[in-house]
Structures are given as structure tokens and as C-alpha cells.
Chains A and B, each alone.
Chain A
Amino acid sequence: MVKLTMIARITDGLPLAEGLDDGRDQKDADFYKQQAKLLFKNLSKGHYEASRMSIETGPYYFHYIIEGRVCYLTMCDRSYPKKLAFQYLEDLKNEFERVNGNQIETAARPYAFIKFDTFIQKTKKLYMDTRTQRNLAKLNDELYEVHQIMTRNVQEVLGVGEKLDQVSEMSSRLTSESRIYADKAKDLNRQALIRKWAPVAIVLGVVMVLFWVKTKIW
């Protein structure tokens, strides 16, 4: 069963539309919405490979397709057939492109196509029950191939960006620390020098003073 539907522009992660009362009677809806938004952010940074992907998160799957710089994402139960989920997204995509295709690039405000939610709502209802004749037929239809779609874990996907960040942070920390180390080494070197020669210098100084005093008085 479809839990969440979101459509966003991939170039900047701007949300374009969202299913209306998604998340009804679901307490953790906000958490998964947040995750989906993170996903969009990652996608907009360019951390993505496939145009179709399934991502497992908790008891659910995110399925998304990316087409024409728009990402169509839905969240379903694990038990929900992948094939239907992608069919659903495919339907949304076709309609969305038909209705708003030419304005996608120019949309300037978030949820510019919120009116699309009525269609999302209607389509969602069609896919609600996997056992309807229509959906069974779709399931049996071999034309649409979903086997090669990759499945990954959400931590992995969201982690890609994080890991890169970590590496760069570590390396930058390394450079700064090595610089500190060099400075400290220089400092130590100088201190050692002082410690070595200071007594000699003092003795010499005293002798010189004595000499000077001696020549002055006598």
C-alpha cells in the first residue's frame, strides 16, 4: 500500500507536489518524510546512479524513478509488489509530464504544482488493493521488467554523502594538525638549544663581568 508520494525537481531538490493526506494514521510519517527530503537533497547534489531504484528503510521501501529531471518517489510497505509501485510512479510520471511538462524548469516556488495532488490521490486509490483484477493483470504482465532495479539500504544511500564529507573533514584536520606539529617541533628545537647552551653562556657572562669589574677597580 502506498504510504507517501512526493514529486521533486532533481536539479535543486525543490518539491513540486505531494500526495494530499499521506501519512494519515501513521505516527512516523514525519520521520520518513524527512528521510525522503534528505534523499532529494542527496540526489540534487548528484549522488545518484540509477534512474530507478528501491531503497529499504525500516518496514518500508522507497521507490523512485527519475525522468526529465523530476524525481517521483513513493513509500510502500515491504510486502507491496515492486512492480505495482513502479507502475504507479510510471502513471504519475506520464500524467505529470503531460500536464506540467513545460513548466517544470521554470517553477520558482515550492509545491508549484500542488494541484496535482488530486490526481495523485485518485491514482493512489487505484493501486491501493493489490488484488483487484486490474492490478493482478499488471502484476502478471511480463512486459515491465523490474528485476534489474537495484535495491539498497537507506543508510547506504544517505551515507554516501556523509562519508565523503567525513573523509574531506578528516583530511583537512590532518593538514591542520600536521602544521601544528611542525610548529611545535620547531619550538621544541629552540628550547633544547637554549637549555644546552644557557649555563655556559651564564658562566661566561659572569666571568666577563668579573673581568670588567677587575679592570675598572684596579
Chain B
Amino acid sequence: MQPMGNDKPIPGRPTSPFSAAPPVSSPFLSSGPVVGSEKTAATPLLTPFSSGTQATGYRMPAPPPTRFNGPFTPTQPPSFHPTQDAATYQQTQAPRFPPPSQPATPLRGPPVANSVGSFQPQPQVPTFRMSPPHPPAVQSPPGSNIPPPHFLGPRPGPQSPFQTLSASQASPHFRASPYIAQQGVIPPPPIGPPLGVGSREQMPFPHIGQQHVGGGPMQGLVEEFQSLSVGSIPGSLDSGIDAKSLPRPLDGDEEPRILESYPLNCHLRFLRLTTHTVPSSQSLLARWHLPLGAVVTPLAEVPEGEEVPIVNFGTAGVVRCRRCRTYINPYVTFTDAGRKWRCNLCSLLNDVPAEYYCALDATGRRLDIDQRPELSKGSVEFVAPTEYMVRPPMPPSYFFLIDVSVAAVQSGLLEVVATTIKSCLDGLPGSPRTQIGFLTFDSTLHFHNLKSSLSQPQMMVVADLDDVFLPLPDDLLVNLSDSRHVVDAFLDSLPSMFQNSANVESASGPALKAAFMVMSQLGGKLLVFQSTLPSLGIGRLRLRGDDPRVYGTDKEHTLRIPEDPFYKQMAAEFTKHQIAVDIFAFSEKYSDIASLGSLAKYTGGQVYHYPAFQAATHHEKLRYELARDLRRETAWEAVMRIRCGKGVRFTTYHGHFMLRSTDLLALPAVDCDKSFAMQLSLEDTLMTTQTVYFQVALLYTSSSGERRIRVHTAAAPVVTDLSEMYRQADTGAIVSVLSRLAVENTLSHKLEDARQLMQLKLVKSLKEYRTLYAVQHRLGGRFIFPDSLKFLPLYILSLCKSAALRGGYADVLLDERCATGYSMMILPITRMLKLLYPGLYRIDEILTKGTDNLDESLKPLALTSQCLDARGLYIYDDGFSFVIWLGRMLSPDIVNSILGVDLSSFPDLSRDNNISRRMMRILKALREKNRSSYQLCRIIRQDEQPREGFLLLNNLIEDQTPGSSTFVDWILQIYRQSQSS
């Protein structure tokens, strides 16, 4: 395993402890923040340093005196351990010390300290965030008791891998090394060959090898990646994986700490890159098998106090680059005494408009930078002047298209919809300009005249479905504040209006056409409440998907795409006239969400699916979600474009929108619950710049009738090194892009193919990663993966087991599959991860004993049935619904207090006793965390088949389900595939 090169560094190693001191120091320094020797200078610091120098350029806005002296001091730790948290870092210290023989440790302390002092001023040491654990580790009595302190971290689950690492792998390895005996003091490099290997095989990535030379072998190793012992006992059948030690994202989404090194970037809630770097060449990109791109949530909800500042340039007009039309942002540089500015994307020198001129200070900063948010914040909103309007800002308008066929009446849907809309009327944004209108339909279309001078709405029935016309030119879409009383009267009478209807037909297509005619002048939001399969007129759909034989054939994917081109054409028309369509589907039976959903897909809308809707059980969910849809801040008639610096280009976009030109996303309506993913490609073979900038610009009309441009700017360094790309990888963004890719793949391929594609991507990337390190580190029997991607295998597994991709015909209903697919296309990262790896909490103890700190007591568990205890009460939360699981041996007290004698599956849990109150508190706390949808509680009891399997057991991702493997098997499978060449 060890190549010849191994010998080279070793002889160079000092044999006496004294001469050893200086070289030993370099390991410390290398991980320390400041360059000590030139060797380390060239190495790990390479990347941070280069970003540091750029940083001085654009970090101008910050107070310069402090910045200039030590810009890297604060920024480096994060750039070294971008995704490592406190616990990980402690771990990195651990393996360094235990291995040396006992007496060496005390000896070693002083020289280290000295050398650190001699090479670098002391203050550097404290810049370690984790320095407190560090000295104890050095001074603590030798050997055995060192590891324990390192397991104090907050997350017991993910930590265990380190344990196996240091105990089972690292130390035996060290002991075995022949060098240990003589060297004693020096941690023998298990990566002996790095120099040799590094220089031969990894010419373009010089710093990998060097880093280990400089950076203390084990530290470098752990810093770079994590590994899992796989098949530790050769020949044994046991997998050798400790299932408990596998990394699990129990804390949900972890945002990478980019903002510390790029403080001027927009917040990560708006824009996240799949890896916060840009590869410098095509060949490097080819080795990065994961998607390279970004996930954008332009209108993400911001906590109070962090609102995006609004800037009005007045007569100066919006300051933009002449050539690439980039908006002015914090990364532009001013030259020529403030008369010119250089665009950071295309580096064109632009004139500063006279009205915008401001003198520069000695460091080249504008004097007025503190008053100008566009020069100091990554996210700003510009007030758009007239040139950005093709028409006056439209008023928010809502048009409701309600299916009133017998299914809707029977399920009580009409009543819920009517009361919800009525209760939302006051909260609709944009008052007093808000427009509203209704159209109901079954086998005929019913128009409702809501003219303000009427006291009661008038209904007009149009039965001609082939040639739809509007019975009235006006007053079908009316101003809400003027016609409020008529709208109220209409909503009051709506539930009873169709009470005796026995009409089973649904003329959705003609109704859509009519709605289009009403709305086409203004645009707005069209909410379609569909209770049955569209059965009449144009756009009628037929029952399909009930044939299990289609599955597994090449025709399988056709079930998941719209059958009738009518819907896509209609969607194109809607987008052109700034109409967004939200689909609410309620049918118990097949209603072809695939076709209906394409309306939402191309108009920036959303699909809500309530299978087998019954007012009694689902009303809360529908009420909440409809109210949120109506009330949330919405951006109207929007277009979005993302620009990026030279050499890179956004090529594909994923989400709900219509692509107007090659890179302009048309979004009739967009809100905080929508996110968009896009993928990058490199244009040139080699990138010449050191930093690439991205700018998302969303031009929209706010509900208050203002035209605005929301601009988010971010910078990412160009790297020449694959390991740096892995280090800066962002699992959340990667999973988000991958799942969209997978869903899109299911629209043109078999489910099986989509799953395999995901697996292939994962395997390829891990294999690539393995070739980076495994050879040097002699990790033959170990599964290695970057620390930043430690959850990726699990997320990919859960993606393959998600409702959109899982199994085949029988596993998930076609409609549900399509609805999940449509939601996955728009989910923001955090909710996506929550959906993929839902939370499972045991709450019986909290219920009986109560708790002071609910957040702490709710400990997420691994998603496996082994975690389910028959004596416990569990709650499963995937962001869309709750499942409450009652163990067989759960104490009857609890059951009685929360359920009473209610045997329904959606019981009312609020009762007048302590346990029930606590239960409600827990539910409330969980719902607070995810306010985009309402989680309805379902109760299931252990062994209650088949519901238990259907609702919970199939969703326990780590368990074996038909046709899929357990988490441990999956890891083994991935490991084997990534190992084979």
C-alpha cells in the first residue's frame, strides 16, 4: 500500500526530540491561523490567503484599520473547518496525542509552546475557537483518558465515528508503525507518502500533500474527511458497521459558515451554492460529480430586524453596469477619485452618475458607504423607475375557480373554502386595490356578478363549453373594498348554493379558459379547487395509471407528465398574462395531478394535495394553508435573472417558472415558499479570475403597488483543487438540486433509472474523493467521505425512498407521487431536508413529567423502527404532517388523557388535562418551526395494519422496505461501489 515515496519524508524527520521541535511546530502552525514557515505558507493557507487578499479588496466597507492588519485571523478558522462544529474540532485534536508513547506527551508540551511562540506571536493561539480544549489535551495525563473529554459534544450520534477512528484505526496503526519507536515524539505520519504521491499524482493540487507534512498527519486527515470503519474484521460476514455511529442529520439543516469569510454576501437563506467555490477548469469540474449550482429563495422570510433595505436612486436611475447590466453591489470598486466604478462581474469601467458621485477616502472607500446599503449589504431592494414597467403596477388580484360538483359538496369542501376566504378578506394584501372574483363550475360554468351596486351577487350560467364567452364585460373581477358586501354575501351563500346538486361532471378546461378571459387584462393569482377528474369539454382527462403493467416499462414516465397538451398551452398563456395558478386537489380518486400540476409548474404556482378530503378532518389544514397562500407577502408580475462573472454560466433551471429567454425566469407570482435551483457550467477551460460573483435580481411588483428590484449578491472563490471544493460543499444545496434533478428525471425515465442516477452520482463523487485521499492514508478498509458531505449518503437514500421516487406501482399512489414531486420542485432547502429526513421524537416522558425547555427535551431520533419502544409515544414530523405513534404498552393514562375514547384517526387532541395541554404545546412548538404548511395529526397504534406500515414504517428511512435497503446496507453498497474501480 505504501508507495516508495514513503521513505522520503521519513529520513528527513529528525530523530532527536530537540531537533524535532521546530518541524513539529509547523503542524501546529499550519492549522494555526498565520503562516509560520514558507512550507505552510504555500499550503493550507493557500486558499484562505488568496481569498483573504481578495477580501481586502471588497471588505472595504468594514473598518479598515483592523482589517488590514489581520484580515485572516478571524476568517481563517472557518475557512479551514468550514463545516466542522465545535465537536469535530475537538476531535481533530484527539488523535494527535494519544498515539505517541506515554512519556512523550509531557515532553512534548513545552517545545510546542516554545515553537509556537518563537514562530508566531502568542495571540494567534487564542484565535482557535476551540483553544480551550486544546491545552487540556496537551497537559492531561497520557494516553487513556484523553479521548473522553472529546465526547462531550452535543451530538452523541455523529460523534461515534471519531471514536472508531481514533480507537480502532488510528492507534493500532500508529503502534504498528516501525517509526514510532525511535521517533517517539513525533506522531508518525500514516500518510507517509503524501509528498511523493502528492507530487506525482496530484500535481495540480500541491497543497494536499504539503498540508499533511505541515499539518500533523492525523489532524490533517481528520480535518479533511471522515471515515467509517467498514468490514473491520476481514472475512467476517458481519458488516462491521456500527449502525449507531453513522452520521445522521438530526439537527436538520446546517448552513455552512460562508458569511464569516464573505461578510458582504447575501444571507444564505437567499442564495446557497452547492459548493461555495468555483472550479477553475473544465477538467476539475468533470471530477466534481455532484451538481454545481445554486439554490435561490429570492423572497425568503427574514426574521424581524433583518429586513432587506430599500434604496431609491431617484433621478440618478438604478446604477448598473453598461455592458452586463449588473446592479451596483458591495463588491464593485471605485476608482478615479470616485468618478468611475469597476463592475465586479465583467470588470468594465463605468462612469458614476453625477447624482451618485461621492469622493473616496485614502483607502479607496467611498465616504458615504455607511449611508448606502447597496454598497454594504449583500441584499437590497431598489425602487424601480418607469423604465422597468411596461404598465402601471398591477393590483393584487385573486380569482377563485371552484369545482362545485357533488364530490366537493359532500366532502364539505365548499363550506371550508368559503369560510376561509371570507376570514381572509381583511388580510388580503394590497388593500384598497385588491381585486377578487369567483367562478364556479360543474358541467356548466357559473359566473358571478359582484358589481358593487348590487346587494346580492348575480349568478350567470354558461352551458356552452365548446365556445366559452363572458356573459358580462365587467364586474366578474371586482375591487374588493368596493364590492365587499357583495363578496361577503356570495361567500355566505356559496355552501348552500349547490347543496342539492347531483352533478358529477367537472368542466375544468372550459372553466380555465373562462378564468383566463376574465383575468387576462390584469393578471394575478388563480386558485383552482379541483375535487374530481376534469371530465368535460376541452382538457378532459381520462383515468390512467391504474395499470400496474406499465410500471417498469419505457412508457412508465408518461403517467407522470401531462397527457393533454392543453394544460401546457394554457400555462404558457397564463404566464404571458401574468397569471399564477395554484392547484388545490381534493379527490379521493385519481384526478391526474400530473396534468393539473403542470399549470402550476409553468406559472410559478404551487400544488396542494389533500387526498380524500373530508371537512371534518382536513379543515384545519386547508384553512391554514389557504390562508397562508392568500395572506403571505407575494411578489407579482416578476421576472428573475441570475448573473454571474466571466467564465461561468447558468445553464439549467429547476423549479416552477417559465423560461422567457435563455436565462430570464418569468414568475407571475412568487413568494417566500418558493425556491429555484440552477446549475452552472464553465465556459472557458481556465478561469482567470480569483473570485466569481453571482447576482440574483428579481424585478417585481409588491402588493402595495410598488415596482421593486430585489438584488442578492454573493462571491465565491475560484479554486484549483478538488479537495477544497469538497470542503466547501453544502449538503443542503446539493440535496436540493439533486432531488429536483431526480424528480425531473422521473418525468422522462423510469423511477428505477432516477434512483440509480442519484446513486451513481453519489458513488462517483465518493469514488473521486477516495482517490484523493485513500491511497495516501492507507484507508483501504474504510469508507471515507468529506466532513461537509457526511449526511449526503443518507439524504440520497431518503431521496430514493421519498414518495416521489419510492418503489413502483403499489407503493405510492400516482397522484400522491406527482404531488410530492411538484412540491419538491419548489421547496426551500430547510423544508426539503425536513421532508427527506423527518424528525422523530419520543414524547411520553415529556407528557408525563413536563419540561421547562421544550426545544431541548425534543430530541430527534434516528429513523428506524429500532428506536420505537412499545412503551413510548412518538411523534413523526415531516414538515407536512404529523404521525403520532402509540406503543402497544404505552401507559393507558397517557392514552386516556390525550385521546379519551376517540378512535378516529384524526382525533381532537385538546382536552382539559395537563398531559393533553403539554401535548398541544409540543405540537405547537413543532408547527412553529415550519409555518409554511399545517401539520395535521394522525394517530396510529402499534401493529395497526396496514396503516402503520403505510404512514410510518415505510417512512422510516433507515429500515428495510420492499425493494430498498437499510441504511447500513446502503452505506456498504455505496462503499463497495466507490471502492471498485
Contacts and interface: CB of A to CB of B under 8 A. Distances in A.
Contacts of B479: 118, 121
Contact of B392 (A18, A108, A118): A18
Most chain A beta-carbon neighbours within 10 Å: one of B312, B433, B522: B433
Interface stretch (B34-42, B163-171, B381-389, B787-795): B381-389
A115 B392 contact: no
A24 B522 CA distance: 10
Contacts of A66: none
Nearest to B315: A12
Contact of A110 (B385, B433, B481, B522): B385
Contacts of B481: 118
Contacts of A108: 312, 314, 383
A110 B389 CA distance: 9
A24 B520 CA distance: 10
Nearest to A18: B392
A122 interface: yes
B482 interface: yes
Interface in B47-101: none
Interface string A101-133: 000000011110011011001100000000000
B609 interface: no
B706 A117 contact: no
A20 interface: yes
Interface in A113-166: 114-115, 117-118, 121-122
B521 interface: yes
Interface in B460-485: 479, 481-482
B432 interface: yes
Interface in B387-420: 389, 392-393, 395
A218 B392 CA distance: 101
B547 to A, nearest CB: 47
Interface in B507-529: 521-522
B764 interface: no
B818 to A, nearest CB: 36
A95 interface: no
A14 B386 contact: yes
A111 B705 contact: yes
B817 interface: no
B707 interface: yes
Contacts of B393: 111, 114
Most chain A beta-carbon neighbours within 10 Å: one of B385, B386, B481, B522: B386
Nearest to A12: B315
B703 to A, nearest CB: 12
A122 B433 CA distance: 12
B384 to A, nearest CB: 8
A118 B433 contact: yes
Interface in B289-319: 312, 314-315
Interface in B355-399: 383-386, 389, 392-393, 395
Given A15-B392, A21-B521, A114 B386 contact: no
B482 A118 contact: yes
A199 to B, nearest CB: 57
Interface string A28-71: 00000000000000000000000000000000000000000000
A24 B521 contact: yes
A188 B53 CA distance: 62
Contacts of B522: 20-21
Contacts of B312: 108-109
Interface string B432-449: 110000000000000000
A165 B385 CA distance: 26
Interface residues of A, number: 18
Most chain A beta-carbon neighbours within 10 Å: one of B314, B393, B432: B393
A108 B707 CA distance: 12
Nearest to A15: B386
A122 to B, nearest CB: 7
The main secondary structure of chain B at its interface with chain A is: loop
B392 to A, nearest CB: 4
B433 A117 contact: yes
Contacts of B389: 110-111
A109 B705 contact: no
Nearest to A121: B479
B308 to A, nearest CB: 16
B433 A115 contact: yes
A35 B521 CA distance: 21
A180 B636 CA distance: 57
A2 to B, nearest CB: 14
A111 B707 contact: yes
Contacts of A24: 521
B707 A110 contact: yes
Nearest to A119: B432
A114 B707 CA distance: 11
A17 B386 CA distance: 12
Contacts of A117: 392, 395, 433
Contact of B432 (A14, A18, A109, A118): A118
Interface string B314-348: 11000000000000000000000000000000000
A122 B386 contact: no
B710 to A, nearest CB: 15
Contacts of A122: 482
Given A15-B386, A118-B482, A109 B706 contact: yes
A18 B384 CA distance: 17
Contacts of B706: 109, 111
B432 to A, nearest CB: 6
Contacts of A14: 386
A20 B597 CA distance: 31
A21 B432 CA distance: 16
Interface string B212-240: 00000000000000000000000000000
B432 A115 contact: yes
Contacts of A121: 479
B131 to A, nearest CB: 52
Contact of A20 (B315, B383, B395): B395
B449 to A, nearest CB: 15
A182 to B, nearest CB: 35
Contacts of B705: 111, 114-115
B447 to A, nearest CB: 17
A145 to B, nearest CB: 33
Nearest to B522: A21
A111 B389 CA distance: 10
A109 B383 contact: yes
A31 B315 CA distance: 26
Nearest to A16: B392
Contacts of A12: 315
A21 B477 CA distance: 11
A110 B707 CA distance: 8
A115 B482 CA distance: 13
A20 B396 CA distance: 12
Given A18-B392, A118-B479, A118-B481, A110 B386 contact: yes
Contacts of A118: 432-433, 479, 481-482
B81 to A, nearest CB: 46
Nearest to B477: A21
Nearest to B452: A122
A75 to B, nearest CB: 15
A21 B393 CA distance: 11
The 3 closest A-B pairs by CB, nearest first: A18-B392, A114-B705, A110-B386
29 contacts: A14-B386, A15-B386, A15-B392, A17-B392, A20-B395, A109-B312, A109-B384, A109-B385, A109-B707, A110-B384, A110-B386, A110-B389, A110-B707, A111-B389, A111-B707, A114-B393, A114-B433, A114-B705, A115-B432, A115-B433, A115-B705, A117-B392, A117-B395, A118-B432, A118-B479, A118-B481, A118-B482, A121-B479, A122-B482
Given A14-B386, A110-B386, A114-B433, 13 more contacts: A15-B386, A20-B522, A24-B521, A108-B383, A109-B706, A109-B707, A110-B385, A110-B389, A110-B707, A111-B705, A111-B706, A118-B481, A118-B482
Interface of A: 12, 14-15, 17-18, 20-21, 24, 108-111, 114-115, 117-118, 121-122
